[in-house]
Amino acid sequence: MWRKQADDAVASIRETENTYTEFMQLRAPVDYWTGKSSEHGTEKSKAYENLRNYFIGLTLLLVAVFIAAGFLVVSMHDAANEPVALYVLISAGLAVLSTIGFWIGRILTKLYLSQHHLKTDADERATMIKTYLALTENGAASETDKQIILASLFRPTADGIVRDDGPPDLAFQSIAARMLSGKDQS
């Protein structure tokens, strides 16, 4: 009787040691991913502030430039001598200015989204580890569960940057190849 109780106690202690050892091995990744989530959260906040301030500034700048261009066009308007070249030049300048402004805004948006995706990824990984730790603590995790969790944890991390949608390939060879293959690759 004492022998069985002693064996049960020793088995319980070993099980507790194994659980504790596994917990401590996985505690470091929890701390790592929680720290990464915090870092990306801080960078996400900075990127959001930059993005918001940029678009506010860009909006004010574009409004001011468009109003100034409107006043210039109205002041230069002469019914007898229409300065068409000036109108084209002003229109082109406004188009280039707004295009450059929105292009820079697009880059800032991508940087914000990158931090958002990386923070979400770090949060997911920390949650997976914590869930696995809870399952192992309750003895509900099997070896298959462990493999699934570890495969999810050690998957490659995407950088979070949304890939550029390049312009369509308008070369004659590309168009002909798509038409001949019967596939639209746009």
Position 152 in a domain: yes
Q: What is the pLDDT of residue 169?
A: 64
Number of domains composing the chain: 1
Task: Give, for all 186 residues of the chain, the pLDDT tens digit.
Answer: 777 777 777 787 877 777 666 666 667 777 888 888 999 999 999 999 999 999 999 999 999 999 999 888 888 776 667 778 888 888 999 999 999 999 999 999 999 999 999 999 889 888 887 877 777 766 677 778 777 777 777 777 766 565 555 556 667 777 777 777 765 554
Q: What is the pLDDT of residue 180?
A: 77
Q: Is residue 54 part of a domain?
A: yes
| Residue 147 confidence (pLDDT) | 79
- Identify whether 168 is part of a domain: no
Q: Specify if 180 maps to a domain.
A: no
Q: Is residue 176 part of a domain?
A: no
The pLDDT, as a whole number, for residue 13 is 80
Structural domain that includes position 121: 2-163
- Encode 111-150: b = buried (16+ Cβ within 10 Å), e = exposed: bbbbbbbbbebbbebbebbeebbeebeeeebeeeeeeebe
In a domain, 170, yes or no: no
The answer to whether 82 and 21 are in contact (CB under 8 A) is: no
- Mind spelling out the 3-state secondary structure of the chain? CHHHHHHHHHHHHHHHHHHHHHHHHHHHHHHHHHHHHHHHHHHHHHHHHHHHHHHHHHHHHHHHHHHHHHHHHHHHCCCCCCCHHHHHHHHHHHHHHHHHHHHHHHHHHHHHHHHHHHHHHHHHHHHHHHHHHHHHHCCCCCHHHHHHHHHHHCCCCCCCCCCCCCCCCCCHHHHHHHHHHCCCCC
- What confidence score (pLDDT) does residue 116 get? 92
Is residue 120, in this structure, part of any structural domain at all? yes
Domain presence at residue 137:
yes
Give the pLDDT confidence score for residue 164 in this predicted structure.
57
